Amino acid sequence: MKIKTIGMPVNYSGYQSNKKTSTKNNIINQKNKSELSKHFYQIPFARRWKEHTSWGATIDSYNKDVSFKLFTFPDAKNVTVKVEKKNTGDILTFPLENKQNGIFQTAKPIPSSLVQENDRYYYEIKKADDSIVQASDPYSFMIDPKTGKSVIYDQSKYQWHDENWYTNNSHRISRLANSKNKLTRVNDARIYELNIATFTKNGDFNSAAKKLETIAKKGFNAIHVMPVEETLDYFNWGYDGRYKTAVAQNLGGADNFKKFVDMAHSKNLNVIIDMVPNHLGPERQNLRETGPYIKGGNAFGDAWNYEGKNSTYVRDFMVNSALYWIKNYHCDGIRFDMTKFMDSDITMKQIAAELNYHYPDVFLIAEDARNAIASNGESYWQDWSKKHDERVLSKLKPEENSPSMDENTHNNVIESMDPEKGRTNLARLGFNTEWDFNYFHTLKNHLYGSCNLDELYEACLQGQTRLKYVMSHDEIGNYEGTRLIPKLIVPMLHLNENVELNQQDLERAEKLAQLKNIDKRQAISYVILQKAQITSEKLVDLYTEGKLDEYDEYDYESFYYNELQPLGIRKEAYITPKKIKAMYKKAFDSYKMAQAFTYSQNGPKMTFQGDDEVTNVPFRFFRQSDKTPYEPNLYIEKGYNTNREGFESSKMSNDCAKGSAFESKCAAIRLTKDLNRLAKENTAMSNGEIVRENTVIHPNSQVIALNMRNNETSDEVFTIANFSDMKYPRDDADRYYIRFPQGVWQEAINTDDVKYRGEGYTNKQIISSDGYAQYPINLSNRSTIIFKKIG
């Protein structure tokens, strides 16, 4: 019996199945789209599903015949596809038909008797000047790492096992979640960010899949996978992708990534894939020669031609690439890297519109970093009547418009969005949340001692529903690669003043001044800061490896000459093992305080791999390919080798905490589990709002308290954070007095609890507040207490 292949739009379950879609799901799907259209879809973007999926080398799921389709220069004279047989090496040539506007495709599918999966192929393009260009496929699903040629890959052959994941599953995060269905809201996301290459010793999908159950048991309900786009490098972070639709072979390839996602779903973990729409890596594929894909360069590599001449199909390319991660790999959400550097909000809107239409459940996260600042430098918060960034509202030039778009399309698309929804620029573009840079930087200042609680409160207020975190891969790896605790210890031990530069350091500072075109004194200050951070990391290593306990407390001479002098630390700094242990505890307390305070905010939360266990394993920037095995400029800039040395040092398998450090690791895991549990149980921490009138700010004692309330469920939390080194009660003062919101309150989490390696300044009493009086509590230094309302 012939199986009928169903074309999209996709069914409600969010993935394409070979099984017949149920009538019930069809009804639900139409209902969801009808509801969504009221808010978003008076738009002209939506293309037929067949158009989205017709590009590249596509295999008919029934008879396995192969079709090819390419976008190249509109004035190209002809295009042929060269297919290299996997078994014999013979090369077959097939002419493509010119469909105008730079589109070339096979007139009819090529029989599977001639072309099959795993055959390699490339295009030969005859340009207007009669020159011949050989090009790999921009829509490659697989790349041969040895030759760089495209490989035919059958996306339909993998047998998925996650059908139950798509049946109104309460564990599934969806942008359509509401009080009437079982789905989980985006604001309820508790995300674990990981890098496949360093997450395990082997650094591949299969090894990472074995650790998914551990992540789930810690209470996370989503994983954010840093980019797995094919780069053809031996290893790198993933943000230098050359092929947007191909999975990196060195990580395990397409089939193993599908197994990884399948396993994640079986553990009730949503999968967020990281896409890079703002640039191509330095070792780019030859898109400049393939067609009008590239407009020039930016700070990261080649920049996409989203709004220049002949840009319609470039925008479509990025849209299709995003759709493919959902269709082919069953990802539940997409995080888009540094969208502001796309310089094209119309492309962002088009991506959101098509994804939201074809996959209504899928949620979208942007790393945008504009923080509600328009291109003229003014804040949207100062005047809500202001229009969005002018890049959103300005029309495309007539020659840049798609033939199907009229001149009013651009403005119609933007203005069809609810201008006040979320009160952020990205909500108007169709994204569900964004990374909260403002909150991170403000919190960081407070952790380092620059305490302005009004600024912190404003950051919390403005960032409601944004994705919050204490550290991400950027905040660790884009600097010295050091974790939060060694970063915090640097000022505590005055390492910036107590590390000495050797001749190699001074030579690097001189090269850095030339490289960055900065004053030599500025370059020296930069090198000192880097060395101090890495030196602090090595001091923490002494603690985590148990080596500090090998030294007599009173024998500073031995400790200095054995450990400190080789690190370039001045002897007069008098950094003893006892002092390092004390500063570690202080930094650990700050870590716990920051994690709990961040978790108490509404909106999604994220933790980077290892930070849930306070690992001291660094996360360095690393990259190595066959063409650039080592880049001297990166060493000059970073202060460490970014090739295999940086890569191997960043592997999570290097974690070897002993003694007290192991106790801290266990305490951090317990705190992580309890925070995730409380965030799941108390909806005020995800879908609540800050009750402004109940905010308490005590600048003199550096204490801030925020009341979060979910009006739908009546859940409430009252979070008190003490950023100072003062604890209460103390010798000269009673317990700390603070005004509680009206209600009956019980302590739910206190980061100074002994189970989190605290001193036990906890509160067992129930507090019944009239909303006006101040009540005494025990409050430790550098701690966060989360009270929950019980009546």
Regarding pTM above 0.85, the answer is yes
C-alpha 21/C-alpha 379 separation (Å) is 47
Average pLDDT over residues 52-65: 95
Q: Would you report the helix, strand and coil content of the chain in percent, each value rounded to 5?
A: 35, 20, 45
| DSSP result, 72-105 | --TT--EEEEEEE-TTT--EEEEE-EE-STTEEE
pLDDT in tens, 365-383: 999 877 555 444 554 444 4
pLDDT above 90 for 42 = no
pLDDT above 80 for 423 = no
pLDDT in tens, 700-747: 999 999 999 999 999 999 999 999 999 999 877 789 999 999 999 999
C-alpha 374/C-alpha 387 separation (Å) is 9
C-alpha 435/C-alpha 414 separation (Å) is 21
Angle made by CA atoms 422, 382, 380, in degrees to the nearest 5: 45
**Is the distance from CB of 317 to CB of 256 less than 8 angstroms?**
no
Q: Which residue has the higher pLDDT, 87 or 48?
A: 87
Structure tokens at 666: 């266990």
Helix (H) or strand (E) holding 720: strand 716-722
Burial of 66 (0-12, 13-18, 19+ CB in 10 A): buried
pLDDT in tens, 594-646: 999 999 999 999 999 999 999 999 999 998 876 655 567 888 989 888 888 99
User: What percent of the chain is modeled with pLDDT above 90?
Assistant: 71
C-alpha 723/C-alpha 447 separation (Å) is 7
C-alpha 691/C-alpha 703 separation (Å) is 17
pLDDT score at 39: 34
C-alpha 550/C-alpha 532 separation (Å) is 24
pLDDT score at 634: 84
Lowest mean pLDDT among 335-339, 446-450, 647-651: 446-450
Sequence-ordered alpha helix ranges (H) in 655-752: 659-681, 684-687
pLDDT score at 371: 58
- Identify the three-state secondary structure at position 458: helix
pLDDT in tens, 214-228: 999 999 999 999 999
E runs forming strands in 139-264: 150-151, 190-194, 222-225, 229-230, 235-236, 243-247
Residue 705: strand pairing partners: 696, 720
Between the alpha carbon of residue 28 and those of residues 15, 39, 270, 327, the distances in Å are 14, 18, 21, 19
pLDDT score at 425: 54
pLDDT in tens, 94-153: 999 999 999 999 999 999 999 999 999 999 999 999 999 999 999 999 999 888 899 999
Q: CB-based contacts of 759: which residues, under 8 Å, 6+ apart?
A: 727, 752, 780
pLDDT score at 417: 36
First to last CA, the chain: 63
Average pLDDT over residues 585-595: 98
C-alpha 560/C-alpha 526 separation (Å) is 25
C-alpha 108/C-alpha 106 separation (Å) is 5
Amino acid letter for position 552: D
User: How do beta strands 605-608 and 468-469 pair?
Assistant: parallel
pLDDT score at 479: 79
pLDDT in tens, 144-156: 988 889 999 999 9
Lowest mean pLDDT among 384-398, 488-502, 619-633, 650-664: 384-398
User: How do beta strands 716-722 and 190-194 pair?
Assistant: unpaired
Closest CA relative to residue 106, chosen from 88, 121, 128 = 121
C-alpha 125/C-alpha 344 separation (Å) is 29
pLDDT score at 283: 65
Lowest mean pLDDT among 2-6, 340-344, 590-594: 2-6
**Is the distance from CB of 360 to CB of 29 less than 8 angstroms?**
yes
Q: Which residue has the higher pLDDT, 151 or 9?
A: 151
Structure tokens at 364: 């979208």
Structure tokens at 76: 């190209």
pLDDT above 50 for 15 = no
pLDDT in tens, 513-542: 999 999 999 999 999 999 999 999 999 999
Burial of 463 (0-12, 13-18, 19+ CB in 10 A): buried
**Is the distance from CB of 728 to CB of 641 less than 8 angstroms?**
no
Residue 57: strand pairing partners: 68
Q: CB-based contacts of 731: which residues, under 8 Å, 6+ apart?
A: none
pLDDT above 50 for 292 = yes
C-alpha 678/C-alpha 193 separation (Å) is 20
Structure tokens at 755: 């189970």
pLDDT score at 12: 24
Q: What is the mean pLDDT of the chain?
A: 86
Sequence-ordered alpha helix ranges (H) in 337-420: 345-358, 390-393, 409-415
What b/e readout covers 707-716, taking b as 16+ CB neighbours within 10 angstroms? bbbbeeeebb
pLDDT score at 773: 95
User: What percent of the chain is modeled with pLDDT above 70?
Assistant: 85
**Is the distance from CB of 610 to CB of 652 less than 8 angstroms?**
yes
Average pLDDT over residues 244-250: 95
Closest CA relative to residue 739, chosen from 693, 702, 683, 701 = 693
Provide the 8-state DSSP code for 19.
Answer: S
- The crossing angle, in degrees rounded to 10, of helices 345-358 and 23-37 is 150
Residue written as tokens 């090595």? 538
pLDDT above 50 for 390 = no
- Identify the three-state secondary structure at position 271: strand
C-alpha 566/C-alpha 311 separation (Å) is 56
pLDDT in tens, 310-366: 999 999 999 999 999 999 999 999 999 999 888 887 888 889 888 988 999 999 999
C-alpha 411/C-alpha 204 separation (Å) is 44
How many CA within 13 A on the CB side of residue 71?
22
Q: Is 107 left (phi over 0), alpha (psi -120 to 50) or beta?
A: alpha
C-alpha 59/C-alpha 83 separation (Å) is 14
pLDDT score at 18: 33
What distance lies between CA 27 and its chain's CA centroid? Answer: 34
